[in-house]
Structure 1
Amino acid sequence: MENPLTHADFLTAEAPREAAIRFRRTIVPEQPREEVVSARLVATALGVYEARLDGAPVSDSVLDPGWNAYEWRLPFQTWDVTDAVRGGSGELSLDVLVGNGWYRGDLGFEGANANYGEQIALALALELVFEDGAVQTVLTDPSWRAETTEVLRNSLYNGETIDARLRGEPGEELAVSTVDVDRSRLIAQAGPPVRRQETLRPVRIWTSPAGRTLVDFGQNLVGWIRASLQGPRGTEIVLRHAEVLEDGELGTRPLRAAKATDVFVLSGGEDVFEPTLTFHGFRYAEVTGWPGELRPEDLEAVVVHSEMRRLGSFECSDPLVTQLVRNSVWGQKGNFLSVPTDCPQRDERLGWTGDIAAYAASASFQFDTSDFLHDWLEDLHAETRHSSAGIVPIVVPDVLKYAHFGDDFAFPALGATAIWGDAAVWVPEALWWAYGDRDRLATHYPAMVLHLESVERALSPSGLWDEGFQFGDWLDPDAPPENPAAAKADPHVVATACLYRSASFAAEAAEILGKAADAERWRALAERTRTAFQEHYVEAGRVRSDCVTVYALAICFGLLDDVDREKAADRLAELVRAGDYRVTTGFAGTPFVTWALSDTGHVEDAYRLLREKENPSWLYPVTMGATTVWERWDSMLPDGSINPGEMTSFNHYALGAVVDWIHQVVGGVRPAEPGYAKVRIEPVPGPGITWARTRYESAAGEIAAHWSTEDEGFVLDVRIPDGVPAEIVLPGGAAHEVVGGEHRFVA
């Protein structure tokens, strides 16, 4: 079926840059509305839009069409509006609110003010099919009208101003014109829609030391505040948002330039405000101008993220570890909003590739990310394919190519980057093991090739990836706040290790896809890399830069021969103990250090590292009241002050990548084959945790494991979907093969 937007105009109108525009059209159906057998509305925007038919929303989604690599993938949505059309009589009223969204969002940091264009626009088609087969199609064209609205200001970073006095009143008429858009960019929406998911009421309202009214919603979340109130006409209510408090006041410094402020102007009647053209990352709000007493029932926080079905859960006897996993879940909800972002609150909110490379396996256990990350990987491929050097960008979509950094900010010259670029391989690898979709693997394979070819061009004659800038073990806790790349791990050791992992999985993917020549090519690259790594970076089991991260990567990625592996494992455990079980890794090492310890027999060390509470550690933020994972191990210092670094977020999932190990090793639920076509239940108990309960909703049904050491030794209860084979491995190594059903094992 032809996309009707092919013939629709993209409409824009001259209006103040911060204001939202309403496009409207009155439609006279060619036959009575009750004779309509089907009706669909197809729409997209340069910006974000909300469509209404006869005054009612056509969808419960928000921030449509979402954020994609707009230059090559501009998604459109199709809504079934049959019931809405048949439910009325006479003329149809169609109006669409269009805001700036990501398209004209002044995105980025350090004053980048990156935009895709300076004109927001709408394209729409309404198609009515009548009982006699006749079809009436209404398209956007210059005959549509445009007007100003009650939304005087809208910005993803800065917030929204809504003047309720203007509701229901005709806006100022605006001149309509058209924007030239290449229709080949149009694609049917592939990712899940963004929706309101839940609401939270305040848990506390109080007056700060400075006399300000503060509200605590009890959870760091992403979305906005819905307010219901009545007060004198023209009264301005100001809501400022932040993730934390500092010195008893709203801690806004981590927002950097983002204002995160909504303003509501009262009509004099009963008003409900909901700023749906923005979003904020916050737990706390400061409310100014509220008439009378502010009550908990007057406000609710609306949690917003992309639609994702919850798949996995975990809890255990240690409430702090259980809370850590819960924090990871909330961090994913907050940052999986159209794209997998680094953080949801400051002047950034970008799809950093390194963050999701580290976290994809954890994310894909907690929620069904198959469509969400598939859509993002399509953007990654498009951006890489169209880049001048065929390099995976550090953010996807790559809006930073439109950045206007000032002379006082020097962005490093970037070529291919380890971990960040490796997202082209590691994210499909995580999806393959989680869901086992061969067609999707085939779709993602070309971007793997582009990435590996870009790295091949960067290798030195020695076969090492030891030239050019690397982020390395980003946010090593020993790096100074102002220089998060200054890690203990040699960045080129990290990069070369990552190349080996990526080449190895690309070879496996090529084999699965029947690309024998490619498989041989990538196997050869992997072997050359492994040989070079051992020759230049390994001596008698010691890995260059002799720190936790390089040992974790070398062990987990399989870069070492047996003798060196054993020595490296002992050295890793020695370093972890010498550090009093404080975390010493950044983005590169954190997902792998506990794996490297437990896989080499150092289970007690892995558990002690996990359960350490002193800073830096995974549980230190939990002891400080965190409800999401922090960007830095010490985003908040022990005295309650915010880390002095300019880059400090309290909702940043990357360092929560340890939950993949928690799910699989502590919980014991692992895929023995891609997509859990075969299951391996192998919990590995350790000190300080006496029971754990894990469940995962696979394509075949629920997988569950509950183990305990409290009563009669080790007891394991498992549930396997009917017909699914499973290998059950008990502590000590005894293995049992079962197919489906519920089983109990005692060791």
Structure 2
Amino acid sequence: MTSTHAPTPGPAPARAPLTLLADALPITADPTDGRAPILSTRAELTQPASAVTSAELLATAHGIYEPTLNGSPATDTVLNPGWTVYESRLQVQRFDVTEQVRAGDGALEVSVPLGRGWWNGDFGFGDAASNYGDENAFLAALVITYADGSTQQVLTDESWTATDSPITFATIYDGQHEDRRLPAGDPRPVRAAEIDRGTLIEQSSPLITRHESRRPEAIWTSPSGKTLLDFGQNLVGWLRFTVAGPEGTEITLRHAEVLEHEELGTRPLRSAKATDHLVLSGDPAGDAFEPTFTFHGFRYAEVVGWPGELTADDIEAVVVHSDIRRTGWFESSHDGVNQLISNSVWSQRGNFLAVPTDCPQRDERLGWTGDIAAFAATAAYQFDVSDFLHNWLLDVRAEASLPPLSFVPFVVPDSLKLRSQGSDPIADRPEETPTAIWGDAAVWVAEALWTAYGDLDRLRAEYPGMVIHLESVERALSPSGLWDTGFQFGDWLDPDAPPEDAAAAKADKGVVATACLVRSARFAAETAALLGEEADAQRWQDLADRTLAAFTEAYVQADGRILSDCGTVYALAIAFDLLDEATRPKSAERLAELVREAGYQVSTGFAGTPFITWALSETGHIEDAYRLLLEDSNPSWLYPVSMGATTIWERWDSMLPDGSINPGEMTSFNHYALGAVADWIYQVVLGIRAAEPGYRRILIQPTPGPGIDWAKGAYDSAAGRIEVEWSVPADGGFTLAATIPAGVDALVVLPDGTQQEVTGTGEQITLA
């Protein structure tokens, strides 16, 4: 449909209002033999192309879409509109298409392939088949503004037509199949579909983009005769190439993170096929292939059916993730730690795709709340995640508010609620199941963002999610005031747990959950006070105080021992400041003793790992913290590095020393949670900390230890760029240089305890 409006005085508005979509009709088309449809329309400009001053496309979908105008892409982003809590928050994208509209020389051709994506791509474990709806839909308004101020609109409606794309199948888990021999067919009518316009919101999360490409570092033939490619880095995205061959030639691409027995190691994918197919048209110019309606987590690929010899110049891996900007860097004298940091960065890149996922390769790729609760502080140093994680926290609030929930679910968006009956291992949830760490993400992620960016308005928007979580926990507490009821993941993936039972940790689950509640209630009280909600501030502080008293009485002995006597319970009690002055040093010494008894191998899971080095270093056990960090036998942070890992593993031993894959069903090689130690490396080893939210005041406090002779790094903070470089010369002493943003005050604390106040100039200064 095309409509023309009379000129309006003054300049044209910079942004078309979302209300324009009220006049557009959501449309869809029935697929032919499962093929993804291409929705199209043609129109004529009402004025010459030279008179077009701007053109903007507003669009969204149930599914994923790729718009083109006059034969050119409307955007270089992919997998739009991403994934949110669709029932209440469907993002609308805005694309400047001025040049594409002008290029049509008076004609307009809009073409939009429409795929399944997260909307109805059969998500969930195994055969869960979690789908939001049976059909996909597209909704759009193209708004063209002319030099005289008049506008023309092209809206989705039933005048659009549909043809068939060569995509015969595409889901995120299983891959994309294309047959280039198939004709598009005659245009056929589209039909109206359903999109609730009340769910439409402005795009608030970074769009998903291609970031780089990598050629294979090695190509060889496996023992079974398959052609294998190694891209040298575990990454997320897809393969891209152009190839010519006889008509009907079928090329099959399989993807995996690791090799096992010299073949592609696909068992950890579980039911996800992660396989792309291309049938060639026979065109002598070749067929270009880029499967943008799926994505894979992989370092290795298997190629079958390639016509002729495959070389590194023929194919590339495209790295895809949400458009987050790198903000943190670290380098040291220890190559293993440098690789650990690289692994953490690459795991964040791969798993920050639409939502913060657990892993990007198997039949999961869900927004697990516990993973990001552990990793949020690290994430906010490595990349600018202010928009990405704020948007996700709004989804947390939205998901927890949907009936019948009144608690933070295990994953957000919560596709598990849509699973087929009896198909999901987390089955028959009780009406109320708040869960420590996982539910605490509503608080801890907000705390990480507040510390990193200091945005009070955003904290205000995130606060209701904290309230939902804490109120759900209040209802779940036992009469003793302890959080020792209901289902808990606990210290998930404790390395001493058997492969088949990741929750069988040493740490008592009640100790873990109750400790987490104290931390969350305290920050909620701080938040409420900042927002001027004094009654709430008192309410949450009272909850924290009561819970701490119950924790102390039930779990802490006079000699500093804590129930279940393992690294995680001491790490949480110390890091969350749950111990009085008399008990704290005793518990700290017991923690250090346990770390030494374990031979400095890691003994913690999701709950304890982010905090154990903090607990050691903050209580004077810096040497033990360093030795724990630098241990490379299994289990340890550097064991995967010694095994050639290029991302963080889900399990400490996702790959066993003999090169075989861990027998546990749940084994990923790109899972950032256990890389949360990077936050300690940035703040303690390097020494860059926020003394006030948003780095309005900075603390520079590097803490050297045995095994690292020098470190340097930088952080592009909300207040400006911070750089630190220190070394411990062979003849002793300590040198430190730093760059502080101009006009920003910083407290510098040297290893000998000397303190000095400085005001930044934006130039490097020598501090020791």
Residue 306 of structure 1 is matched in structure 2 by 322
Pairwise CA distance, 1:2: 4.7
Which residue in the other structure is 1:727 paired with?
A: 747
CA gap of 1:123–1:693, structure 2 versus 1, over 3 A, is same
Q: How much has 1:265 moved relative to structure 2?
A: 1.4
Distance 2:34 2:497 in 1: 39
Give 2:209's match in structure 1, choosing from 172, 185, 195: 195
How far did residue 688 of structure 1 move? 0.5
Q: Secondary structure at the match of 1:343?
A: coil
Q: Given the superposition, is the C-alpha separation of residues 586 and 282 from structure 1 closer, same or farther in structure 2, using an over 3 Å criterion?
A: same
How far 1:348 sits from its partner (Å)? 0.2
Picking from 649, 665, 671, the partner of 1:646 is 665
Match for residue 466 of structure 1 among 477, 484, 493:
484
Confirm whether residue 179 of structure 1 aligns to residue 193 of structure 2: yes
Corresponding residue number in structure 2 for 1:99: 115
Aligned to 1:87: 103
Q: Of 222, 231, 255, which residue of structure 2 is paired with 1:241?
A: 255
Q: What secondary structure does 2:715 align onto?
A: strand
Q: What letter corresponds to residue 306 of structure 1 in structure 2?
A: S
Query: Residue 356 of structure 1: CA displacement?
Result: 0.2
Instruction: Name the structure 2 match of 1:41.
Output: 57
**Residue of structure 2 equivalent to 1:715:** 735
407 and 279 in structure 1: CA distance in 2 versus 1, 3 angstrom threshold: closer
Equivalent residue letter for 2:593: E
Query: 1:359 aligned to 2:375?
Result: yes
SS at match of 1:632: coil
- Structure 1 CA distance for aligned equivalents of residues 62 and 366 of structure 2: 18
Q: Secondary structure at the match of 1:27?
A: strand
- Residue pairs, 1:405-420, within 5 angstroms: 405-406=421-422, 409=425, 411=427, 413=429, 415-420=433-438
Structure 2 Cα separation of the partners of residues 392 and 512 of structure 1? 23
Deviations 1:670-718 (A, max 9, x none): 1111111111110111110000112101123210111100255210111
Q: Given that residues 100 and 120 in structure 1 are in contact (C-alpha distance below 8 angstroms), is that contact kept between their aligned partners in structure 2?
A: yes
**Same amino acid, percent of matched pairs:** 61
Return the letter of the residue paired with 2:398: A
Indicate if the aligned counterparts of 2:33 and 2:168 stay in contact, CA closer than 8 A. Answer: no
Alignment partners' CA distance in 2, 1:16 and 1:687: 65
Contact kept, 8 Å, 2:205 with 2:387, in 1: the verdict is yes
The superposition leaves residues 324-359 of structure 1 with CA deviations (integer Å, 9 ceiling, x where unpaired) of 000000000000001000000000000000000000
Deviations 1:453-497 (A, max 9, x none): 000000111110111110000000111111100100001110000
- Where do residues 520-539 of structure 1 align in structure 2 (5 Å cutoff)? 520-539=538-557
Contact in 1 for aligned 2:268/2:666 (Cα 8 Å): yes
Q: Determine whether 1:230 maps to 2:250.
A: no
Distance in 2 between residues matched to 1:410 and 1:23, nearest whole Å: 38
**SS of corresponding position for 1:467:** coil
Question: 1:155: which partner in 2?
Answer: 171
Is the aligned partner of 1:744 residue 2:751?
Answer: no
- How far apart in 2 are the matches of 1:710 and 1:151? 61
Find 1:373's aligned residue among 384, 389, 392: 389
Counterpart among 590, 596, 600 of residue 581 in structure 1: 600
1:57-456 equivalences under 5 Å are: 57-166=73-182, 170-268=184-282, 269=284, 270-406=286-422, 409=425, 411=427, 413=429, 415-456=433-474
User: Quick check: 1:159–1:279 contact (8 Å CA) kept in 2?
Assistant: yes
TM-score by length of 2: 0.95
Distance 2:526 2:427 in 1: 36
Q: Give the AA of the match of 1:210.
A: S
1:16 and 1:600 mapped to 2: Cα distance? 66
Instruction: After TM superposition, give the deviation of residue 93 of structure 1 in Å.
Output: 0.8
Q: Is the 8 A contact 1:18 1:100 kept in 2?
A: no
Tell me what 2:701 maps to.
682
1:34, CA displacement in angstroms? 1.7
How far residue 413 of structure 1 moved from its aligned partner, in angstroms, is 2.9
Is the Cα contact below 8 Å between 1:149 and 1:171 reproduced in 2?
Answer: no
By how many angstroms is 1:181 displaced? 2.3
Please give the alpha-carbon distance, in whole angstroms, between the structure 2 residues aligned to 1:410 and 1:133: 57
SS at match of 2:653: coil
SS at match of 2:583: helix
Distance in 1 (alpha carbons) for counterparts of 2:601 and 2:712:
26
Contact 2:694 2:719 in 1 (8 A): no
Whole-Å separation in 2 of the counterparts to 1:201 and 1:10 = 40
Deviation at 1:180, TM superposition (A): 2.4
SS at match of 2:582: helix
2:500 aligns with 482
Contact 1:331 1:653 in 2 (8 A): yes
CA distance in 2 between partners of 1:14 and 1:635 (Å): 43
Q: How many residues align?
A: 744
Task: Give ranges in structure 2 of 5+ residues lacking alignment.
Answer: 1-16
Match of 1:22 in 2: 38
**1:30 CA displacement:** 1.8
Whole-angstrom CA distance in 1 between matches of 2:292 and 2:746 = 46
CA–CA distance in structure 1, aligned partners of residues 426 and 231 of structure 2: 39
Distance in 1 (alpha carbons) for counterparts of 2:33 and 2:757: 65
Q: Supply the distance in 2 between the matched residues of 1:133 and 1:371 (Cα, whole angstroms).
A: 33
Q: Does 1:6 align with 2:22?
A: yes
* CA shift for structure 1 position 719: 0.7
Q: State the Cα distance separating 1:85 from its structure 2 match.
A: 1.4
Whether contact under 8 Å (1:317, 1:690) holds in the other structure is yes
| 1:507 counterpart letter in structure 2 | A
C-alpha contact (below 8 Å) 1:73/1:186 kept by paired residues: yes
The verdict on how the C-alpha distance between 1:409 and 1:453 changes in structure 2, with shifts beyond 3 A counting, is closer
Amino acid aligned to 1:107? F
Question: 1:170 & 1:221 partners in 2: Cα distance?
Answer: 33
1:543 and 2:562 matched = yes
Q: Which of 620, 623, 635 is equivalent to 1:616?
A: 635
- Aligned partners of 1:160 and 1:275 also within 8 Å: yes
In the TM superposition, residue 171 of structure 1 has moved relative to its aligned partner by 2.9
Deviation, 1:128, is 1.6
Q: Please, which of 593, 597, 602 is the counterpart of residue 616 of structure 2?
A: 597
Partner Cα separation in structure 2 for residue 300 and residue 408 of structure 1: 36
What is the CA RMSD across the aligned residues, in angstroms?
A: 1.2
Deviation string for 1:423-463 (max 9, x for gaps)?
Answer: 00000000000111111111101110111000000011111
Distance 1:196 1:664, change over 3 A: same
Residue 79 of structure 2 contacts residue 292 of structure 2 at CA under 8 Å; is this kept in 1?
yes
Secondary structure of the 2:390 match is helix
- After superposition, the Cα gap between the structure-2 partners of 1:427 and 1:519, relative to the gap in structure 1 and judged at 3 Å, is same
Q: Is the 8 A contact 1:24 1:146 kept in 2?
A: yes
Give the C-alpha shift of residue 19 in structure 1. 2.6
Q: Give yes or no for contact 1:12–1:120 (8 Å, CA) kept in 2.
A: yes
Separation of aligned partners in 2, 1:454 and 1:652: 28
What letter corresponds to residue 248 of structure 1 in structure 2?
E
Q: Secondary structure at the match of 1:542?
A: coil
Is the contact between residue 158 and residue 189 of structure 2 (CA under 8 Å) also seen in structure 1?
no
Shift of 1:386: 1.4
Shift of 1:408: 8.4
Q: Is the 8 A contact 1:19 1:99 kept in 2?
A: no
Q: Give the Cα separation in 2 of the matches to 1:704 and 1:407.
A: 51
Name the aligned partner's letter for residue 716 of structure 1: L
Structure 2 distance, partners of 1:745, 1:91, is 65
Q: Which runs of 5+ in 1 are unaligned?
A: none
1:18, 1:155 within 8 Å by CA — same for their partners in 2? no
Per-residue deviation, 1:172: 5.0
